[in-house]
Chains A and B, each alone.
Chain A
Amino acid sequence: MAVDLAIDRSNGASGADTSRNPAPVQLRNVVRQFGEQRVIDELDLDIAPAEFVALLGASGSGKTTLLRMLAGLDSIDSGQLRVPLARAAVFQEPRLMPWKSAWRNVVLGLRNGAGKRHAEQALTEVGLAHRVTAFPATLSGGEAQRVALARALVREPKLLLLDEPFAALDALTRIRMHQLIIDLWRKHTPAVLLVTHDVDEAILLADRVIVLADGKIADELRIELPRQRSTAQPGFQAIRTRLLRLLGVDATAGHAPQVPLDAEPAHAAAEQRRRFARTSRVFTTE
């Protein structure tokens, strides 16, 4: 939409602006509550242009809620929130329209009537040049997620929101996706907020890891490890142990466990509630 570009202040201004850190994301005292429960409680958060931030937190700590507010899918109850309108989100499920082929799904992300060529380009970028006309039902989980990524990136977002996008993928596919997401991030340079429950993933990908607890940012950690990271890198384990401790897991006990912080049932239940909340809303706004 034209509006997207017109109102977006994060990148349109002069170079002088950039030096004053026009953070694409600025949250001040943001509060979001469901009934009595304050899920996000006076939260402050800045994300710099092209910064890759990973958001960790126990299940139910409000990661998805925060991401949804940034994506414009949920409102804030009080505080200030500033995000670029040029933003895109990818969720755990690819959320492709089953009735549209891969390239038509990608085109759906384009608001200016750009055609198949553009979509093909985007799909090539995520390694799906051979699946352009495939229906989502015939795509594997990893392929579908890559189409979702292409659909998000084709919008040239200033802010890319990722809510556990790799959680449903198998370990091998996930490793490939990590590389892909880094490549795409380098190429398109959006600011990225990646919600994950995988500490290793956060350390491998992010410039900065923030830990959400009690509706606030409990801690944050800049990851200074040089890129092309691996878990075998010196310093990696130290960061890992520290993050796990922040999350309330003692990694020194026993054989460094791969703790899934997000218990699936609770997550699913929350998602379910949201579905219902959402349906009733969509149709009431006229």
Chain B
Amino acid sequence: MTETTLEPLAADAGFLTVNKRPTVQKDSADNRWHIPAFVLRLLSPIALLLLWELASQAGWIPSRVIAAPSQIGGTLWAMIVSGELGKHLWVSLHRALLGLGIGVTIGVVAALVTGLSKRGELILDSPMQMLRTIPSLALVPLFILWFGIGEFTKIALIVTGTTFPVYLNLFSGIRNIDPKLIEAANTLGLNRRELIWHVILPGSLPSFFVGLRYSLGISWLALVFVEQINTTAGIGFLASDARDFMRTDVIVICLLIYSVLGLVIDGIIRTLERYALAWRPTFVRT
């Protein structure tokens, strides 16, 4: 954002005075050196890390409780170099994205069926509503009985967790499109196909993204959970393995990776939204 000087003067009590010089686009010349915002943003995390490191070095925090940042960094580097981290990361990513992809696809298709046709709603909505009330993790025993304890169960759990947020949000997005816009489309003589293409789908896209974000969060959560049960690879496996050997540094690395990946994927979705929803007032003016 641009900086605006607000100077509430004592003599001026009761008024807000904004003094702002016109921004002259003179490259470099009068450019004072600014600290970039991201550097400022990094300040407090770095301070925290330093404190943590100091406390560990001083022996206030034993490594059995949590390892020192330096130790964590060292282990992280070693794991990256040996390729171990990459291998497990790939397995986890693959699981999450596969489950998410399937779940979102099912959710979208189901929402389109129920959202766009009354008959579809009659047939499909009530089973979906019943299923969604079951927490997907509660299905673990049943899934293990049905599908064994292998990869299929893991993906299936992620799928069941991610389907419903997309389904529910997209469905309500479709149904809550401003009826005035639908009327406008009708007065313009759009047929049903055109109505869906020009009005309903773009209009429900924001809701889809809301659902997608929820699904993402859930896929992550489900991933953490399923990777603790009988796995031989994946970030979750790394973590539970590290637990057995009391390697708090590895556990922290796993947590870090979960959160970084979460951030990255969130960033990707944000970017997608910025393009797909460029018309929204919040995006339009930036």
Say yes or no for A135: interface residue by CB 8 A criterion.
yes
Name A17-40 residues within 8 Å CB distance of B.
none
Looking at the assembled complex, report how far the CB atom of B60 sits from the nearest CB atom of chain A, in whole angstroms: 54
Say yes or no for B117: interface residue by CB 8 A criterion.
yes
Segment at the interface with B among A96-104, A177-185, A216-224: A96-104
Mask for A84-109, Cβ within 8 A of B = 1, else 0?
A: 00011101010111111100000011
Within 8 Å by CB of B119, from A89, A137, A286, lies A286
Name A39-94 residues within 8 Å CB distance of B.
71-73, 87-89, 91, 93
Whether A98 contacts B180 by the Cβ 8 Å rule is no
Give the nearest-CB partner of B117 in chain A. Answer: A286
Give the nearest-CB partner of A88 in chain B. Answer: B187
Segment at the interface with B among A120-128, A235-243, A275-283: A275-283
Interface size class of B (residues with CB under 8 A): 20 to 34
Q: Report chain A residues within 8 Å CB of B285.
A: 138
Segment at the interface with A among B12-20, B50-58, B133-141, B198-206: B198-206
Within 8 Å by CB of A108, from B116, B180, B188, lies B188
Whether B180 contacts A93 by the Cβ 8 Å rule is yes
Say yes or no for A228: interface residue by CB 8 A criterion.
no
Whether B184 contacts A95 by the Cβ 8 Å rule is yes
Q: Report chain A residues within 8 Å CB of B185.
A: 108
- In the complex the two chains form, what is the Cα distance from A104 to B190 in whole Å? 14
Q: Report chain B residues within 8 Å CB of A89.
A: 187
Q: Report chain B residues within 8 Å CB of A96.
A: 184
Say yes or no for B270: interface residue by CB 8 A criterion.
no
Give the nearest-CB partner of A4 in chain B. Answer: B189
Looking at the assembled complex, report how far the CB atom of B61 sits from the nearest CB atom of chain A, in whole angstroms: 51
Whether A109 contacts B279 by the Cβ 8 Å rule is no
Say yes or no for A284: interface residue by CB 8 A criterion.
yes
Whether B179 contacts A282 by the Cβ 8 Å rule is yes
Say yes or no for A1: interface residue by CB 8 A criterion.
yes
Whether A278 contacts B279 by the Cβ 8 Å rule is no
Q: Report chain A residues within 8 Å CB of B75.
A: none
Within 8 Å by CB of B186, from A4, A73, A286, lies A73
Q: Report chain A residues within 8 Å CB of B183.
A: 73, 95, 278
- In the complex the two chains form, what is the Cα distance from A96 to B188 in whole Å? 11
Give the nearest-CB partner of B191 in chain A. Answer: A1
Whether A108 contacts B118 by the Cβ 8 Å rule is no
Q: Report chain A residues within 8 Å CB of B203.
A: 97, 99
Binding site for A on B (CB under 8 A): 115-119, 121, 175, 179-190, 198-199, 202-203, 205, 277-281, 284-285
Binding site for B on A (CB under 8 A): 1, 4, 71-73, 87-89, 91, 93, 95-101, 108-109, 111, 135-138, 151, 155, 274-276, 278-279, 282-284, 286
Q: What are 12 A-B interface contacts by the 8 Å CB criterion?
A: A87-B187, A99-B202, A100-B198, A100-B202, A108-B185, A108-B190, A151-B188, A278-B182, A279-B175, A283-B118, A283-B175, A284-B118
